Structure 1
Amino acid sequence: MLRRCFLALTTLLATPPAAAQSDLWQSLQGGGHVLLIRHALTTPGIGDPPGFRLAACATQRNLSEQGKRDAVAIGAVLRQRGIPLGPVLSSRWCRCLDTARLAFGRVEEAPMLDSMFQDSDAAGRAKVREVLARIALWRQAGGKDNLVLVTHDVNIRALVDAYVEQGGIVVAQPVDGRLRVVGRLPLSTVLPRRVP
Protein backbone atom coordinates (compact mmCIF):
# COMPACT_ATOMS: atom_id res chain seq x y z
CA MET A 1 0.00 0.00 0.00
CA LEU A 2 2.78 2.43 0.96
CA ARG A 3 4.63 1.62 -2.26
CA ARG A 4 1.51 2.35 -4.35
CA CYS A 5 1.03 5.69 -2.59
CA PHE A 6 4.69 6.57 -3.21
CA LEU A 7 4.40 5.67 -6.91
CA ALA A 8 1.20 7.69 -7.28
CA LEU A 9 2.81 10.72 -5.60
CA THR A 10 5.94 10.39 -7.77
CA THR A 11 3.80 10.31 -10.92
CA LEU A 12 1.78 13.31 -9.77
CA LEU A 13 4.90 15.36 -9.02
CA ALA A 14 6.54 14.38 -12.33
CA THR A 15 3.51 15.38 -14.41
CA PRO A 16 3.20 19.15 -14.77
CA PRO A 17 -0.27 20.76 -14.62
CA ALA A 18 -2.03 21.18 -17.98
CA ALA A 19 -1.53 24.97 -17.94
CA ALA A 20 2.21 24.56 -17.43
CA GLN A 21 2.31 22.03 -20.28
CA SER A 22 0.52 24.48 -22.57
CA ASP A 23 3.00 27.25 -21.70
CA LEU A 24 5.92 24.88 -22.30
CA TRP A 25 4.67 23.87 -25.75
CA GLN A 26 4.17 27.54 -26.63
CA SER A 27 7.68 28.37 -25.43
CA LEU A 28 9.13 25.55 -27.55
CA GLN A 29 7.41 26.97 -30.62
CA GLY A 30 9.58 30.08 -30.14
CA GLY A 31 12.80 28.03 -30.30
CA GLY A 32 16.04 28.54 -28.39
CA HIS A 33 15.69 25.47 -26.17
CA VAL A 34 17.63 22.25 -25.72
CA LEU A 35 15.54 19.07 -25.78
CA LEU A 36 17.25 16.37 -23.73
CA ILE A 37 15.52 13.19 -24.86
CA ARG A 38 16.14 9.87 -23.19
CA HIS A 39 16.04 7.03 -25.71
CA ALA A 40 12.65 5.38 -26.09
CA LEU A 41 11.56 2.17 -24.34
CA THR A 42 14.01 -0.71 -24.58
CA THR A 43 13.93 -4.42 -24.05
CA PRO A 44 14.19 -5.23 -20.32
CA GLY A 45 17.48 -4.74 -18.54
CA ILE A 46 19.97 -2.17 -17.32
CA GLY A 47 23.05 -1.19 -19.24
CA ASP A 48 24.26 -3.57 -21.92
CA PRO A 49 25.37 -7.20 -22.01
CA PRO A 50 29.05 -7.88 -21.29
CA GLY A 51 31.21 -7.46 -24.36
CA PHE A 52 28.72 -5.29 -26.29
CA ARG A 53 30.06 -3.32 -29.25
CA LEU A 54 28.84 0.05 -30.49
CA ALA A 55 29.12 -1.04 -34.12
CA ALA A 56 27.01 -4.16 -33.51
CA CYS A 57 23.45 -3.40 -32.45
CA ALA A 58 22.74 -7.10 -31.85
CA THR A 59 25.18 -6.99 -28.91
CA GLN A 60 23.33 -4.12 -27.18
CA ARG A 61 20.06 -3.54 -25.35
CA ASN A 62 17.83 -2.12 -28.08
CA LEU A 63 14.45 -0.48 -28.52
CA SER A 64 11.44 -2.67 -27.93
CA GLU A 65 8.61 -2.69 -30.49
CA GLN A 66 6.71 -0.28 -28.22
CA GLY A 67 9.80 1.91 -28.01
CA LYS A 68 9.98 2.09 -31.80
CA ARG A 69 6.32 3.14 -31.98
CA ASP A 70 6.88 5.70 -29.21
CA ALA A 71 9.88 7.21 -31.03
CA VAL A 72 7.86 7.65 -34.24
CA ALA A 73 5.01 9.21 -32.26
CA ILE A 74 7.31 11.62 -30.37
CA GLY A 75 8.57 13.04 -33.65
CA ALA A 76 5.04 13.27 -35.03
CA VAL A 77 3.78 15.17 -31.97
CA LEU A 78 6.64 17.68 -32.13
CA ARG A 79 5.95 18.29 -35.83
CA GLN A 80 2.18 18.57 -35.29
CA ARG A 81 2.76 21.19 -32.60
CA GLY A 82 5.00 23.21 -34.91
CA ILE A 83 8.16 22.85 -32.82
CA PRO A 84 11.14 24.10 -34.88
CA LEU A 85 13.89 21.52 -34.70
CA GLY A 86 17.52 22.21 -35.51
CA PRO A 87 20.41 19.79 -35.20
CA VAL A 88 19.60 16.31 -33.87
CA LEU A 89 22.61 14.88 -32.03
CA SER A 90 22.71 11.42 -30.50
CA SER A 91 24.75 9.01 -28.47
CA ARG A 92 26.25 6.30 -30.67
CA TRP A 93 24.34 3.57 -28.79
CA CYS A 94 21.85 1.95 -31.17
CA ARG A 95 18.84 2.62 -28.93
CA CYS A 96 19.58 6.36 -29.07
CA LEU A 97 20.38 6.46 -32.79
CA ASP A 98 17.23 4.49 -33.56
CA THR A 99 15.13 6.81 -31.38
CA ALA A 100 16.49 9.84 -33.25
CA ARG A 101 16.07 8.30 -36.71
CA LEU A 102 12.55 7.11 -36.05
CA ALA A 103 11.48 10.40 -34.46
CA PHE A 104 13.23 12.89 -36.71
CA GLY A 105 14.45 11.02 -39.79
CA ARG A 106 17.97 12.37 -39.30
CA VAL A 107 20.74 12.22 -36.74
CA GLU A 108 24.36 13.20 -36.18
CA GLU A 109 26.42 10.84 -34.04
CA ALA A 110 27.90 12.67 -31.05
CA PRO A 111 30.31 10.67 -28.84
CA MET A 112 29.93 13.33 -26.12
CA LEU A 113 26.39 11.96 -25.61
CA ASP A 114 27.56 8.34 -25.26
CA SER A 115 26.50 6.66 -22.03
CA MET A 116 28.46 7.69 -18.93
CA PHE A 117 27.28 4.55 -17.12
CA GLN A 118 30.78 3.11 -16.85
CA ASP A 119 32.81 6.33 -17.21
CA SER A 120 35.15 7.61 -14.54
CA ASP A 121 34.14 10.88 -12.86
CA ALA A 122 36.76 12.71 -14.92
CA ALA A 123 35.51 11.22 -18.21
CA GLY A 124 31.91 12.08 -17.29
CA ARG A 125 32.83 15.69 -16.46
CA ALA A 126 34.71 15.94 -19.76
CA LYS A 127 31.59 14.84 -21.67
CA VAL A 128 29.46 17.39 -19.84
CA ARG A 129 31.94 20.17 -20.72
CA GLU A 130 31.92 19.05 -24.36
CA VAL A 131 28.11 19.06 -24.50
CA LEU A 132 27.95 22.54 -22.96
CA ALA A 133 30.58 23.78 -25.44
CA ARG A 134 28.56 22.37 -28.36
CA ILE A 135 25.42 24.07 -27.04
CA ALA A 136 27.34 27.37 -26.80
CA LEU A 137 28.40 27.03 -30.47
CA TRP A 138 24.78 26.38 -31.46
CA ARG A 139 23.71 29.52 -29.59
CA GLN A 140 26.46 31.60 -31.20
CA ALA A 141 25.28 30.42 -34.61
CA GLY A 142 21.80 31.80 -33.93
CA GLY A 143 20.04 29.00 -32.01
CA LYS A 144 16.59 30.09 -33.23
CA ASP A 145 15.32 26.52 -33.49
CA ASN A 146 15.50 23.86 -30.77
CA LEU A 147 18.58 21.69 -30.36
CA VAL A 148 17.80 17.98 -29.89
CA LEU A 149 20.11 15.77 -27.82
CA VAL A 150 19.17 12.08 -27.63
CA THR A 151 21.05 10.34 -24.85
CA HIS A 152 20.85 8.27 -21.66
CA ASP A 153 19.38 8.78 -18.19
CA VAL A 154 22.81 9.02 -16.53
CA ASN A 155 23.89 11.74 -18.98
CA ILE A 156 20.74 13.78 -18.48
CA ARG A 157 21.20 13.57 -14.71
CA ALA A 158 24.79 14.78 -15.11
CA LEU A 159 23.68 17.73 -17.25
CA VAL A 160 20.60 18.92 -15.36
CA ASP A 161 20.21 16.71 -12.27
CA ALA A 162 16.83 15.46 -13.47
CA TYR A 163 15.50 11.93 -13.92
CA VAL A 164 13.49 11.26 -17.07
CA GLU A 165 11.71 8.08 -18.10
CA GLN A 166 12.52 6.32 -21.36
CA GLY A 167 11.14 8.47 -24.16
CA GLY A 168 10.70 11.46 -21.86
CA ILE A 169 12.01 14.94 -22.60
CA VAL A 170 13.64 17.54 -20.37
CA VAL A 171 13.41 21.03 -21.85
CA ALA A 172 16.32 23.26 -20.89
CA GLN A 173 17.84 26.62 -21.74
CA PRO A 174 21.51 27.55 -21.67
CA VAL A 175 22.18 30.12 -18.94
CA ASP A 176 25.67 31.26 -17.92
CA GLY A 177 27.40 28.21 -19.34
CA ARG A 178 24.98 25.74 -17.74
CA LEU A 179 21.60 24.26 -18.55
CA ARG A 180 18.53 25.40 -16.61
CA VAL A 181 15.47 23.14 -16.68
CA VAL A 182 12.46 24.97 -18.09
CA GLY A 183 10.08 22.02 -17.93
CA ARG A 184 9.52 18.35 -18.60
CA LEU A 185 7.52 16.44 -21.13
CA PRO A 186 7.02 12.96 -19.70
CA LEU A 187 6.13 10.39 -22.32
CA SER A 188 2.61 10.12 -20.84
CA THR A 189 1.95 13.79 -21.61
CA VAL A 190 3.52 13.66 -25.07
CA LEU A 191 1.60 10.48 -25.97
CA PRO A 192 -1.54 10.53 -23.79
CA ARG A 193 -3.17 7.65 -25.67
CA ARG A 194 -0.21 5.28 -25.57
CA VAL A 195 -1.33 1.73 -26.28
CA PRO A 196 0.63 -1.11 -24.61
Structure 2
Amino acid sequence: MKLIKIIIVLFISFNTPIVANSNEDLQNLLSEGGKLIFIRHAYAPGSGDPDNFDLSSCASQRNLSQEGIYQAMTINSFFLKSNMSSNLVLSSEWCRCKQTAKYAFKNYKTKSFLNSFFSQKFAHNKAKQIKELKRFIKEWNGKGNLIFVTHYVVIFEILNLSVSSGEIVIADRDFNILARQKTSNN
Protein backbone atom coordinates (compact mmCIF):
# COMPACT_ATOMS: atom_id res chain seq x y z
CA MET A 1 0.00 0.00 0.00
CA LYS A 2 2.86 2.37 0.86
CA LEU A 3 4.48 1.67 -2.52
CA ILE A 4 1.24 2.54 -4.32
CA LYS A 5 1.06 5.89 -2.49
CA ILE A 6 4.67 6.67 -3.44
CA ILE A 7 3.98 5.81 -7.09
CA ILE A 8 0.87 8.03 -7.10
CA VAL A 9 2.81 10.94 -5.57
CA LEU A 10 5.60 10.51 -8.14
CA PHE A 11 3.09 10.30 -10.99
CA ILE A 12 1.35 13.49 -9.86
CA SER A 13 4.69 15.24 -9.38
CA PHE A 14 5.86 14.49 -12.92
CA ASN A 15 2.58 15.63 -14.46
CA THR A 16 2.25 18.88 -12.54
CA PRO A 17 3.64 22.01 -14.18
CA ILE A 18 6.55 23.64 -12.45
CA VAL A 19 5.55 26.76 -10.57
CA ALA A 20 8.08 29.37 -9.57
CA ASN A 21 8.76 29.26 -5.83
CA SER A 22 8.43 32.95 -5.24
CA ASN A 23 7.80 36.25 -6.94
CA GLU A 24 11.56 36.79 -6.95
CA ASP A 25 12.08 33.51 -8.83
CA LEU A 26 9.37 34.53 -11.28
CA GLN A 27 10.87 37.98 -11.80
CA ASN A 28 14.31 36.43 -12.44
CA LEU A 29 12.81 34.02 -14.95
CA LEU A 30 11.13 36.86 -16.85
CA SER A 31 14.20 39.11 -16.77
CA GLU A 32 16.16 36.46 -18.72
CA GLY A 33 13.96 37.15 -21.77
CA GLY A 34 13.20 34.67 -24.52
CA LYS A 35 10.02 33.44 -22.81
CA LEU A 36 6.53 32.91 -24.18
CA ILE A 37 3.95 34.45 -21.87
CA PHE A 38 0.35 33.43 -22.40
CA ILE A 39 -2.34 35.47 -20.65
CA ARG A 40 -6.00 34.58 -20.73
CA HIS A 41 -8.04 37.77 -21.03
CA ALA A 42 -9.17 39.28 -17.74
CA TYR A 43 -12.64 38.64 -16.34
CA ALA A 44 -15.45 39.20 -18.82
CA PRO A 45 -18.76 37.83 -17.45
CA GLY A 46 -20.41 35.01 -19.38
CA SER A 47 -18.93 32.44 -21.72
CA GLY A 48 -18.48 32.12 -25.44
CA ASP A 49 -19.64 34.80 -27.83
CA PRO A 50 -23.13 36.33 -28.00
CA ASP A 51 -25.31 35.38 -31.00
CA ASN A 52 -24.99 38.88 -32.46
CA PHE A 53 -21.18 38.85 -32.15
CA ASP A 54 -19.44 41.23 -34.56
CA LEU A 55 -15.65 41.47 -34.45
CA SER A 56 -15.77 45.15 -35.41
CA SER A 57 -18.22 46.09 -32.63
CA CYS A 58 -17.29 45.86 -28.96
CA ALA A 59 -20.93 46.56 -28.11
CA SER A 60 -21.82 43.14 -29.54
CA GLN A 61 -19.19 41.28 -27.53
CA ARG A 62 -18.44 40.22 -23.97
CA ASN A 63 -16.28 42.94 -22.46
CA LEU A 64 -14.30 43.29 -19.25
CA SER A 65 -16.32 44.06 -16.16
CA GLN A 66 -14.99 46.46 -13.52
CA GLU A 67 -13.44 43.42 -11.83
CA GLY A 68 -11.82 42.49 -15.15
CA ILE A 69 -10.41 46.00 -15.58
CA TYR A 70 -8.98 45.81 -12.06
CA GLN A 71 -7.53 42.38 -12.86
CA ALA A 72 -5.85 43.73 -16.03
CA MET A 73 -4.36 46.55 -13.93
CA THR A 74 -3.03 43.89 -11.56
CA ILE A 75 -1.35 42.24 -14.54
CA ASN A 76 0.18 45.65 -15.32
CA SER A 77 1.55 45.92 -11.77
CA PHE A 78 3.01 42.42 -11.99
CA PHE A 79 4.93 43.24 -15.18
CA LEU A 80 6.05 46.65 -13.92
CA LYS A 81 7.75 44.88 -11.01
CA SER A 82 9.56 42.64 -13.49
CA ASN A 83 11.44 45.57 -15.06
CA MET A 84 11.22 43.81 -18.38
CA SER A 85 12.00 45.70 -21.54
CA SER A 86 11.64 44.88 -25.23
CA ASN A 87 8.56 42.76 -24.81
CA LEU A 88 6.31 42.27 -27.79
CA VAL A 89 2.66 42.21 -26.74
CA LEU A 90 0.18 40.59 -29.11
CA SER A 91 -3.56 40.36 -28.57
CA SER A 92 -6.52 38.57 -30.05
CA GLU A 93 -8.81 40.83 -32.06
CA TRP A 94 -11.66 40.18 -29.57
CA CYS A 95 -12.44 43.27 -27.49
CA ARG A 96 -11.99 41.55 -24.10
CA CYS A 97 -8.42 40.65 -25.08
CA LYS A 98 -7.67 44.10 -26.49
CA GLN A 99 -9.06 45.67 -23.31
CA THR A 100 -6.86 43.41 -21.19
CA ALA A 101 -3.81 44.30 -23.29
CA LYS A 102 -4.62 48.01 -23.10
CA TYR A 103 -4.97 48.09 -19.30
CA ALA A 104 -2.06 45.71 -18.72
CA PHE A 105 0.47 46.98 -21.27
CA LYS A 106 -0.92 50.03 -23.10
CA ASN A 107 0.93 49.16 -26.35
CA TYR A 108 0.04 46.02 -28.25
CA LYS A 109 -0.67 44.68 -31.72
CA THR A 110 -3.50 42.37 -32.73
CA LYS A 111 -3.00 39.05 -34.48
CA SER A 112 -5.83 36.91 -35.82
CA PHE A 113 -4.03 33.68 -34.88
CA LEU A 114 -4.82 34.53 -31.21
CA ASN A 115 -8.59 34.79 -31.84
CA SER A 116 -11.04 32.44 -30.20
CA PHE A 117 -12.28 29.37 -32.06
CA PHE A 118 -14.62 28.30 -29.24
CA SER A 119 -17.89 28.97 -31.07
CA GLN A 120 -19.15 26.99 -34.04
CA LYS A 121 -18.84 30.16 -36.15
CA PHE A 122 -15.02 30.20 -35.76
CA ALA A 123 -14.18 26.52 -35.06
CA HIS A 124 -13.01 25.96 -38.65
CA ASN A 125 -10.12 28.42 -38.00
CA LYS A 126 -8.48 26.34 -35.26
CA ALA A 127 -5.87 24.37 -37.26
CA LYS A 128 -4.86 27.37 -39.37
CA GLN A 129 -4.51 29.66 -36.32
CA ILE A 130 -2.42 27.19 -34.32
CA LYS A 131 -0.15 26.62 -37.33
CA GLU A 132 0.30 30.40 -37.78
CA LEU A 133 0.97 30.90 -34.05
CA LYS A 134 3.64 28.18 -34.03
CA ARG A 135 5.24 29.63 -37.19
CA PHE A 136 5.28 33.11 -35.64
CA ILE A 137 7.00 31.77 -32.51
CA LYS A 138 9.53 29.79 -34.58
CA GLU A 139 10.45 32.93 -36.56
CA TRP A 140 10.58 35.20 -33.48
CA ASN A 141 14.05 36.59 -32.72
CA GLY A 142 13.81 35.78 -29.00
CA LYS A 143 14.67 39.25 -27.69
CA GLY A 144 12.68 40.25 -24.63
CA ASN A 145 9.61 38.14 -23.99
CA LEU A 146 6.71 37.40 -26.31
CA ILE A 147 3.38 38.11 -24.60
CA PHE A 148 0.11 36.72 -25.95
CA VAL A 149 -3.22 38.02 -24.63
CA THR A 150 -5.66 35.41 -25.84
CA HIS A 151 -8.43 32.96 -24.97
CA TYR A 152 -8.83 29.78 -22.96
CA VAL A 153 -9.16 27.62 -26.10
CA VAL A 154 -5.93 28.91 -27.67
CA ILE A 155 -3.92 28.39 -24.47
CA PHE A 156 -5.44 24.94 -23.95
CA GLU A 157 -4.66 23.92 -27.53
CA ILE A 158 -1.04 25.14 -27.48
CA LEU A 159 -0.09 24.20 -23.88
CA ASN A 160 -2.71 21.55 -22.98
CA LEU A 161 -3.45 23.59 -19.87
CA SER A 162 -6.66 24.91 -18.32
CA VAL A 163 -6.38 28.54 -17.20
CA SER A 164 -8.61 30.99 -15.39
CA SER A 165 -9.38 34.58 -16.39
CA GLY A 166 -6.29 36.76 -16.15
CA GLU A 167 -3.95 33.84 -15.48
CA ILE A 168 -0.36 34.19 -16.70
CA VAL A 169 1.52 31.14 -17.98
CA ILE A 170 5.22 31.33 -18.81
CA ALA A 171 6.68 28.79 -21.21
CA ASP A 172 9.87 28.27 -23.14
CA ARG A 173 9.99 28.14 -26.94
CA ASP A 174 9.34 24.39 -26.83
CA PHE A 175 6.06 25.06 -24.97
CA ASN A 176 7.36 23.62 -21.69
CA ILE A 177 5.55 25.32 -18.83
CA LEU A 178 8.00 27.11 -16.54
CA ALA A 179 5.61 28.95 -14.21
CA ARG A 180 2.03 30.06 -13.65
CA GLN A 181 0.70 33.15 -11.90
CA LYS A 182 -2.95 33.72 -11.10
CA THR A 183 -4.25 37.26 -10.78
CA SER A 184 -7.18 38.24 -8.65
CA ASN A 185 -10.33 39.60 -10.19
CA ASN A 186 -11.70 40.91 -6.88
TM-score by length of 1: 0.79
Alignment of 1:3-152 (within 5 A): 19=21, 21-43=23-45, 45-118=46-119, 119-120=122-123, 123-138=125-140, 141=141, 143-152=142-151
CA distance in 1, matches of 2:20, 2:148: 25
Distance 1:36 1:25, change over 3 A: same
Give the C-alpha shift of residue 20 in structure 1: 5.3
SS of residue in 2 equivalent to 1:89:
strand
Distance 1:57 1:173, change over 3 A: same
Q: Verify the 8 A CA contact 1:85 1:147 in the aligned structure 2.
A: no
- More displaced 10-residue stretch of structure 1: 156-165 or 15-24: 15-24
Give the C-alpha shift of residue 25 in structure 1: 2.5
Distance 1:126 1:17, change over 3 A: closer
Give the C-alpha shift of residue 83 in structure 1: 2.7
Name 2:182's counterpart in structure 1. 186
CA distance in 2, matches of 1:83, 1:97: 21
Name 2:152's counterpart in structure 1. 153
Give the C-alpha shift of residue 36 in structure 1: 0.3
Distance 1:171 1:17, change over 3 A: closer
CA distance in 1, matches of 2:26, 2:178: 8
TM-score by length of 2: 0.83
Gaps of 5+ in 1: 1-13, 189-193
- More displaced 10-residue stretch of structure 1: 17-26 or 106-115: 17-26
Give per-residue Cα distances to partners, 1:27-85, cap 9 Å, x unaligned.
Answer: 11111101100000112x11121021011101111100011111122112211221335
CA distance in 2, matches of 1:172, 1:103: 19
Give the C-alpha shift of residue 125 in structure 1: 1.9
CA distance in 1, matches of 2:134, 2:18: 26
Give the C-alpha shift of residue 127 in structure 1: 0.9
CA RMSD of aligned residues (A): 2.2
Which ranges of 4 or more aligned residues in structure 1 deviate by more than 6 Å? 14-18
Give the C-alpha shift of residue 112 in structure 1: 0.4
Distance 1:124 1:17, change over 3 A: closer
Larger radius of gyration: 2
SS of residue in 1 equivalent to 2:180:
strand
Tell me, yes or no, if structure 1 residue 170 matches structure 2 residue 172: no
SS of residue in 2 equivalent to 1:148:
strand
Report the number of matched residues: 170
CA distance in 2, matches of 1:182, 1:52: 35
